[in-house]
């Protein structure tokens, strides 16, 4: 604690700058973040080697606007879309194949969606890219062997933010509400209010202003209707991530027909994604049920 007369000024709520930066550093809750990032890459590479995949399908004109698609064995299958995290600055679809490991053999199709990263792309551009990718999947569902009525979204950390931004009602053609287009969504350890994040080191490559932070904060722009949601986080998260999780759950209760609020005590910000395709876990069981899959 700082000595009297040397208190650091508060920049948000009860946080000084160093504390606020730490609150938005999920890696502060684990001993080595590299362990998890390496496992994402290794499991994803192994999954692409074991399953049929159409890699690098373009969904837009930008070089980064591609996706990897893992077809189901049977037509009219449900589709699970995964949007990776990395604070809109790191990772890619190449690190995001691993949730296909058990969902595809169980009967679902899977898509790992790529998008441009900051600072080359600003956050409004990234949001627009993910929305284009999802619209492409809706448009091409039939030829992909997907039942367009059973497209489920999922995202981790920044990916959860991008998924929730895709559920806002300000971007699809008139009369085509995202709550009707997507059958459900799983939001993992997301950040949904970007104003405090704007005041941290995370914003250096993002360049958010107060105006764009609010515009890009789905918490402040929730539509009247949302599809069924699973909102989950690990037990080992910072207080700020816990707060954002709890406030989102409270805000969506009246907007979604079904909410599953999950706090997985033995997981953290990075390894909760490994439960996504594991039907023996609470998270995986909830997802398999939503997808209409039998546990292997």
| Residue 296: pLDDT over 80 | no
Residue 181 lies in a domain: yes
Residue 234 domain flag: yes
Domain annotation covers residue 6: no
59 within domain boundaries: yes
Cα-flanking dihedrals φ and ψ of residue 264, to 5°?
Answer: -95, 100
**Mean pLDDT (whole number) for 74-86:** 98
pLDDT (mean) for 244-255: 98
User: Once rounded to an integer, what is the mean pLDDT over residues 20-28?
Assistant: 97
pLDDT, one tens digit per residue, over 208-230 is 999 999 999 999 999 999 999 99
Confidence (pLDDT) at 177: 95
Give residue 295's pLDDT band: very low, low, confident or very high (50, 70, 90): confident
Burial of residue 97 (number of CB atoms within 10 Å: 0-12, 13-18, 19+): buried
Q: Quote the CA–CA distance of 94 and 113 in Å, as a whole number.
A: 9
Domain that holds residue 235: 14-22+31-291
Establish if 53 belongs to a structural domain. yes
CATH of the domain at 134: 3.40.50.1820
Rounded to whole angstroms, the Cα distance separating 138 from 183 reads 12
**pLDDT band at residue 7 under the 50/70/90 scheme:** low
Q: Look at residue 103 and tell me if it is in a domain.
A: yes
Does the structure show a pLDDT above 70 at 37? Answer: yes
Output DSSP code: residue 121.
S
In the prediction, which pLDDT does 8 show?
A: 73
In the chain, the number of structural domains is 1
- Count of CB atoms situated within 10 Å of the CB of 261: 16
Cα 247 off chain centre by? 17
Residue of 239, 282, 276 lying closest to 260 (CA atoms):
282
246 domain-assigned: yes
Alpha helices by DSSP H, the chain: 17-23, 33-50, 100-103, 123-139, 158-166, 178-181, 195-198, 203-206, 210-215, 239-252, 282-291
Please state, for a pLDDT cut of 90, what percent of the chain lies above it: 93
The answer to whether residue 9 is domain-embedded is no
């Amino acid at each position: 604690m700082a000595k009297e007369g040397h208190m650091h000024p508060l920049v948000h709520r009860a946080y000084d700058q160093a504390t606020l930066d730490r609150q938005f550093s999920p890696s502060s809750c684990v001993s080595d973040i590299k362990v998890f990032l390496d496992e994402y890459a290794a499991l994803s590479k192994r999954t692409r080697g074991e399953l049929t995949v159409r890699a690098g399908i373009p969904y837009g004109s930008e070089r980064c606007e591609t996706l990897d698609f893992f077809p189901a064995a049977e037509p009219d299958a449900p589709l699970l879309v995964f949007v990776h995290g990395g604070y809109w600055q790191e990772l890619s679809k190449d690190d995001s194949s691993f949730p296909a490991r058990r969902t595809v053999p169980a009967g679902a199709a899977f898509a790992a969606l790529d998008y441009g990263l900051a600072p080359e792309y600003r956050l409004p551009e990234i949001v627009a890219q993910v929305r284009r990718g999802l619209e492409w999947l809706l448009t091409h569902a039939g030829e992909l062997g997907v039942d367009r009525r059973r497209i489920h979204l999922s995202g981790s950390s920044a990916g959860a933010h991008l998924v929730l931004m895709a559920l806002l009602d300000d971007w699809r053609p008139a009369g085509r509400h995202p709550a009707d287009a997507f059958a459900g969504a799983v939001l993992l350890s997301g950040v949904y209010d970007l104003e405090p994040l704007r005041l941290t080191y995370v914003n250096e490559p993002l360049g958010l202003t107060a105006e764009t932070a609010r515009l890009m904060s789905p918490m402040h722009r929730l539509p009247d209707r949302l599809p069924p949601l699973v909102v989950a986080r690990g037990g080992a998260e910072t207080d700020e991530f816990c707060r954002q999780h709890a406030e989102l759950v409270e805000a969506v209760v009246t907007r979604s027909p079904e909410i599953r609020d999950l706090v997985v005590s033995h997981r953290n910000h990075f390894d909760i994604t490994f439960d996504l395709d594991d039907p023996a876990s609470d998270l995986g069981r909830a997802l398999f049920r939503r997808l209409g899959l039998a546990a292997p």
